[in-house]
């Protein structure tokens, strides 16, 4: 995954969690400056809510906060941050140390990147469409960077 889209996914996920309360990512996809984030969600969000998600993500980019990466003992990481660090991507049991990526107070999960060092250099995020799939209880959010 490229650095721009990977970093944008962390920023966008924080906004999705903040605005919509969706906490678990089920899949991610990148293709050049385009990306897609899929999260578990029971309801179809309104246009206004999705606009708030986009604004919230771009505000976090403007704030230019650090995107920190660090390694941590697995047990300690689970105790400190909870299972949320895995989203829906299980990590084999034999892995005892995790690489965590954190935007303070916004988003944390296991990810090796690559990432920007701060949100300020991440291109702006435009949500181009979204699709709610009730049977799967998933929300797919397609976005484009830097436009
Ligand atoms: Zn990442």
Domain holding 108, by residue range, is: 3-145
Give residue 112 CA to ligand 1 midpoint distance, Å: 6
pTM of the complete model: 0.96
Mean pLDDT (the chain) is 96
Residue 123: which of 58, 56, 53 has the closest Cα?
58
Q: Report how many domains make up the chain.
A: 1
- The CATH number for 40's domain is 3.30.980.10
What pLDDT, on the 0 to 100 scale, is given for residue 1? Answer: 85
Which residues crowd ion ligand 1, with CB under 5 Å?
Answer: 6, 101, 111
Residue 119 pLDDT exceeds 90 = yes
pLDDT in tens, 26-63: 999 999 999 999 999 999 999 999 999 999 999 999 99
Q: Residues with Cβ < 8 Å from 10, sequence gap 6 or more?
A: 67, 101, 103, 106, 107, 109, 111, 115
CA of 103 to the centre of ligand 1 (A): 11
Write the pLDDT tens digit of every residue in 125-139: 999 999 999 999 999
Nearest to 61 by CA among 12, 134, 111, 5: 12
Residue 68 CB contacts under 8 Å (≥ 6 apart), including other chains = 101, 102, 103, 104
């Amino acid at each position: 995954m490229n650095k721009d889209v990977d970093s944008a996914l962390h920023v966008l996920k924080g906004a999705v969690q903040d605005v919509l309360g969706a906490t678990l990512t089920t899949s991610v996809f990148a293709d050049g400056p385009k990306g897609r984030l899929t999260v578990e969600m029971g309801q179809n969000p309104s246009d206004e809510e999705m606009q708030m998600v986009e604004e919230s993500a771009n505000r976090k980019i403007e704030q230019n906060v650090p995107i920190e990466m660090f390694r941590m003992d697995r047990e300690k990481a689970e105790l400190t941050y909870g299972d949320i660090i895995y989203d829906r991507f299980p990590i084999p049991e034999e892995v005892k140390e995790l690489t965590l990526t954190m935007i303070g107070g916004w988003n944390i999960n296991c990810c090796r990147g690559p990432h920007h060092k701060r949100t300020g250099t991440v291109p702006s995020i435009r949500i181009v469409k979204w699709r709610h799939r009730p049977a799967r209880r998933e929300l797919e959010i397609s976005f484009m960077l830097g436009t």
